[in-house]
Amino acid sequence: MSRKTLVIGVQSALNIFLAILLYNEYVHNRFMQDYLASTFSSMSFALPVGLLASAAIAGGSLTAYSRRHQITRGQIAPGLKTEAFAGSAEKLATLDTCPFCSIPLKNISENRFQCRKCRRYFKK
């Protein structure tokens, strides 16, 4: 089991435990029930807008994560050109253009390049 999975599992269990404690407090505390009833009755417009915004943020985060995960799985980005190097039986990718915006790279030093548009740095 990876460290990330363990941390996410522990945080999820803690969140569920705290939600159960909060629900138990709501059921047994009349003052909290009155407070939440008055708060939610006055937020008739803000509550649905907040829920929609939260859903949009969660969806955007999931989309960004899934795209990043596809890149890290080894799928070659479009725009990478491959050529055979001397003494090599395999084909290795050579960066001539930026894989993100397809602009020719500027040579900074012997092994370093920079995209003119997005300013990302690459090593050869």
Same domain, 38 and 58: yes
Domain extent at residue 86: 81-123
Residues 28 and 85 reside in one and the same domain: no
Region of residue 26 (phi > 0: left; psi between -120 and 50: alpha; otherwise: beta): alpha
19 and 63 within one domain: yes
Q: Residue 75 has what pLDDT?
A: 55
pLDDT of 34-90, one tens digit each?
999 998 888 778 888 889 999 999 999 888 888 776 666 655 455 445 555 555 555
Asked if 68 and 86 sit in the same domain, the reply is no
Report the alpha-carbon distance of residue 94 to residue 21 in Å, rounded. Answer: 56
**In the predicted model, is pLDDT for residue 93 greater than 80?**
no
Contact 105, 95 (CB under 8 A): yes
- My answer on whether 7 and 63 are in the same domain is yes
| In a shared domain, residues 11 and 65 | yes
- Is the overall model pTM greater than 0.85, yes or no? no
| Percentage of the chain lying above the pLDDT 90 cut | 31
Of the chain, the percentage scoring pLDDT greater than 70 comes to 77
Are 94 and 51 found together in one domain?
no
* Whether residue 56 sits in one domain with residue 37: yes
